[in-house]
Amino acid sequence: MQQNIRVRYAPSPTGFIHIGNLRTALYNYLFARHNNGKLILRIEDTDQSRKVEKAVENIIDTLQWVGIEYDEGPFKEGDYAPYFQSQRLKIYYQYAKILIENKKAYYCFCSEERLNAIRQEQQLRKVPVAKYDKKCLSLTEQEISDNLNQKLPYVIRLNVEPGRTIKFNDFIRGEVQILSDLIDDQILIKSDGFPTYHLANVIDDYLMKITHIIRGEEWLPSTPKHILLYEAFGWELPVFAHLPLLLNKDRSKLSKRQGDVSVEDYKNKGYLPEALINFIALLGWNPKDEQEIFSMNELIEKFTLEAVHKSGAIFDIEKLNWLNGEYIRKKSNFELLILLREELSKSKYNNNDYSDEYLIKVINAMKPRITFIKEIYEKGYFFFEEPESFDKDLINKFSTTQYTEILNTYLKEIKNIQELTKEDLENLIKYIVDELKIKKANLIQPLRLAISASLEGPSITDIILTIGKEKTIQRINKFIEKLTE
């Protein structure tokens, strides 16, 4: 690869980061790190009307949360600052002026009404491609300066020469070509003086010395416009690489209508950043071996643009769920303790009611059976509170004198044990089973029900060991009352 690789992630601050954009950011990051290059974060805030408060902060926080570090950008000024497009307005205007002088662009004073009229008329005629009719291109120098002096609102448009074939080589898709006749005289500078995406993007990529433009496939159709701009300025083309799209279940572009799409949503649902990154990395790229779990460093080591796919990938959370569980199981109890306390602080339970020692025991018991951290206290709620509601059918099932006897025997025996150990509890079960000549399940099931209101979950000895003798006795007593009611 060539030296001094520079790539950029260029979101517009219109809300939370979209999961598809996160993948774009990730691939840019992986590509940069793999090649000892730099990742630039540039904020494309040229649409004032769509600006959202705190969006930039959220973008930066989200990148940090998932572990994508940029080398230059807001609050990390490099040689090409500023990194907010809204602070670079003069630059764009200067370059637009150059284009006008070279006749590559022109002033357009057409009103919105006229533009709409043209569009409508073209639709009526079923013209294949609706385009601006280049009316203002034929304005004389005099007319233009008169209009400007009168302060008539204007835009600056790209003058697209018809009859040309624009070719470019996409790193992922190979050669792509399109006829210039199909390209509209794109607006470069809006009437509010702000540049459009196309202009600002090309200028900044050039000025910031971006070598590889890695972005979503939705940009593929507008790439010829950008090429035309590079040509008009006489600039060398960067490498274009258009990433396949992330898709909904129905194969349309991943959108809010069909589920959660912001990284924030997934964070709030309890997905671990490692799992999300791992999952998203594999949507459109594959290291061609049979490994499934990758740390960020492994991704960096293995990532190449050559191995990126062409076709879109459905964002299906089934595998993400599995990964989340895997990452939970890989974590140490101490790491999980910190995460659990965080979740607990957002729950109805009070962190102060449970010691670290206690929570570690709970974590150990619940770890193999959860997908999300919060399931530790959701599925394992009996570790955090006394179960109140019991399934009627289950109560009925165990409402016989035989089960009451079994439980009473257990109660009597456990009271005799001074300090509970795993061994004691297991021996106790054996002892009672032998003594009463019953099946193991006939003791354990009612016991489990009494203590946890469920027939599923961690081993009964682990539960008893965790909640302690006192609570165990209390719950069994209460349960016997319920059975004999």
Partner RNA sequence: GCUCCCAUCGACUAGUGGUUAGGUCAUCACUCUUUCACAGUGAAGACACGGGUUCGAAUCCCGUUGGGAGCGCCA
| Active site positions, annotated | 256
Nearer to RNA, 155 or 407 (CB): 155
Neighbouring-strand partners of residue 155: 108
Measured distance CA(17)–CA(43) in Å, rounded:
12
Number of Cβ atoms within 10 Å of the Cβ of 37 = 21
Task: Name the DSSP class of 15.
Answer: S
CB of 176 or CB of 395, closer to RNA: 176
CA distance 311 to 322: 24
Write phi, then psi, for 135 (nearest 5 degrees).
Answer: -55, -45
Distance of CA 239 to the CA centre of its chain: 26
Tell me the one-letter amino acid at 8: R
Select 356 or 435, whichever has its Cβ closest to RNA: 435
Minimum separation from the CB atom of position 274 to RNA (A): 15
What distance in Å separates the CA atoms of residue 264 and residue 140, rounded to the nearest whole number?
A: 53
CA torsion angle for 320, 324, 329, 333 (degrees, to 10)?
170
Which residues are CB-neighbours of 444 under 8 A, at least 6 positions away? 429, 460
Nearer to RNA, 273 or 458 (CB): 458
Token code pair at residue 118: 């043209």
Asked if residues 283 and 246 have their Cβ atoms less than 8 Å apart, the reply is: yes
Query: Count of alpha carbons within 13 Å of 116, Cβ hemisphere only?
Result: 3
Buried b (16+ CB within 10 A) or exposed e, 351-361: eeebeeeebbb
End-to-end, the C-alpha distance of the chain in Å comes to 79
Query: 310 or 353: whose CB is closer to RNA?
Result: 310
Residue with tokens 């792509």: 176
Q: What share of the chain is helix, strand, coil (3-state, %, to 5)?
A: 55, 10, 35
Closest approach of RNA to the CB of residue 445, in Å: 6
CB of 30 to RNA, least distance (A): 15
- Determine the Cα–Cα distance for residues 111 and 61; give it in Å rounded to an integer: 42
In whole angstroms, how close is the CB of 211 to RNA at the nearest point? 20
- Please state the closest distance from residue 285 (CB atom) to RNA, in A: 7
Cis peptide before 74 (omega within 30 of 0): no
